[in-house]
A = this chain, B = another copy of it.
Amino acid sequence: MLITLNAADSSPLYKQVADRIRHLIARGALREGMALPSVRQVAGDLGVNLNTIAAAYRELQEEGLVTVRHGAGTVVAAGRVRAPDREELRKSLRAAITQLVLAGLSGTAILKLAEQELASLDIHPKGDL
């Protein structure tokens, strides 16, 4: 059971699933060519509707992260492509950082948080900023 849901989280279920899988791919837990669990299995495990999981997989497919093969399951794709356009990504980074600032965190604390998140993806930029 790689995927969990958080009922307290206000984001839609299918987004939570997609986010979690993106994270697994980004940190290498799911590698190119590896199969994702079937829609049915995940839906069963989490106790949610099939459509919910299917929506998550579809979103990932549209981003080019996974390949859905008729009757043959879903596998992690080779090329890393078609990520939502840069500007949108920057917008969400900006929104996240703005809220952290408003929450009272210092710039240093925020950068530390970002480093921790990178570390959770096994990425360790040396302090050579």
Residues on A facing B (Cβ under 8 Å)? 7-12, 19, 22-23, 25-26, 62-63, 65, 67, 70, 79-81, 83-84, 86, 88-104, 106-108, 110-115, 117-118, 120-121, 123-125, 127-129
With beta carbons under 8 angstroms apart, the residue of B96, B110, B127 that contacts A92 is B96
- Give the Cβ gap from A79 to chain B, nearest Cβ, in Å: 8
Kindly name the residue among A11, A110, A112 whose own CB sees the greatest number of chain B CB atoms within 10 A: A110
Can you list 24 A-B pairs, Cβ within 8 angstroms, ordered by A? A7-B67, A12-B70, A19-B91, A22-B102, A23-B94, A26-B101, A26-B102, A80-B102, A83-B102, A83-B104, A89-B100, A92-B96, A93-B93, A93-B97, A93-B117, A94-B117, A94-B120, A97-B114, A97-B121, A106-B123, A106-B125, A108-B128, A110-B118, A111-B111
Indicate how many identical chains form the complex: 4
Which 3 pairs from chain A and chain B are nearest by CB? A107-B125, A83-B103, A107-B123
The majority secondary structure among interface residues of chain A is: helix
Considering the complex, give the chain B residue whose CB is closest to the CB of A68. Answer: B10
Kindly name the residue among A19, A88, A93 whose own CB sees the greatest number of chain B CB atoms within 10 A: A93
Known: A9-B91, A93-B117, A106-B125. A99 touches B84 (CB 8 A): yes
Extra pairs beyond A92-B92, A98-B117, A111-B114 (12, CB < 8 Å): A11-B91, A22-B95, A22-B98, A63-B102, A83-B99, A93-B96, A93-B97, A107-B123, A108-B129, A111-B125, A112-B129, A127-B127
